[in-house]
Amino acid sequence: GEDVEQSLFLSVREGDSSVINCTYTDSSSTYLYWYKQEPGAGLQLLTYIFSNMDMKQDQRLTVLLNKKDKHLSLRIADTQTGDSAIYFCAESPRSQGNLIFGKGTKLSVKP
Amino acid sequence: NAGVTQTPKFRVLKTGQSMTLLCAQDMNHEYMYWYRQDPGMGLRLIHYSVGEGTTAKGEVPDGYNVSRLKKQNFLLGLESAAPSQTSVYFCASSQPRDRGLLWPYEQYFGPGTRLTVT
């Protein structure tokens, strides 16, 4: 079955890099996603990566994909207090018309 | 465009009371979803709809009913609220997934409804 696993918490100091890790089970997902949920708000798509890519960079964000190990990571460079949020990894298996979300990683950024 | 809106933002119910949560989207999306979010549990899909007049069960449908009479609206009903239904409820919408799987598939979320059942 489909299952997306993430650690629940991560704490970093402002200015450091944050790395949020995720493992997924369904290798048929064409895209893998990172969603961000700020306090008191809904989820918003942060970035995504096509399954044929190993890496995608977008300003301070770097997504790494290891298809062999079914491992996805999100690196935030120069983490700011405004990056404090819950980050959800998600996959979209071919067999389903939906997204499968992880439980979310709560990122806390200390000044 | 307002995107996805949810009404109400907050609600407190007594056990056994009923209520309806309203979700509206102005993006002409075909698909709509209801999720609940609980600490340490992530997002769990309650019900979803792939078009006007259609609904389907998700992962945790018990105790909830839904209706999609108009394309832009998706209603979530609790007939007899229980404390276990205390949660934050999110509505989302999307276009149908590209069958060729060529394009990323994005769901757009509303701001949430915080429901407490005492």
Model confidence at A74, pLDDT cuts 50, 70, 90, reads: very high
* pLDDT number for residue B101: 63
**Other CB atoms within 10 Å distance of the CB of residue A77:** 13
Distance from CA of B74 to the nearest CA of A (A): 17
For every one of its 118 residues, what pLDDT tens digit does chain B have, with 9 covering 90 and above? 789 999 999 999 999 999 999 999 999 999 999 999 998 888 999 999 999 999 999 999 999 999 999 999 999 999 999 999 999 999 999 987 776 666 677 899 999 999 999 9
**Nearest in space to A7 (alpha carbons), one of A65, A70, A89:** A89
Measured CA angle at A49 (ends A46, A53), to 5 deg: 155
| Bond preceding residue B8 cis, omega within 30 of 0 | yes
Q: Which of A44, A88, A103 sits opposite B41 (nearest CB)?
A: A103
Q: Taking CB atoms and an 8 Å limit, are A44 and B105 in contact across chains? A: no
Q: Taking CB atoms and an 8 Å limit, are A33 and B104 in contact across chains? A: yes
SS (H, E, C) chain B: CCCEEEECCEEEECCCCCEEEEEEECCCCCEEEEEEEECCCEEEEEEEECCCCCCEECCCCCCCEEECCCCCEEEEEECCCCHHHCEEEEEEEECCCCCCCCCCCCCEECCCEEEEEC
* pLDDT number for residue A3: 82
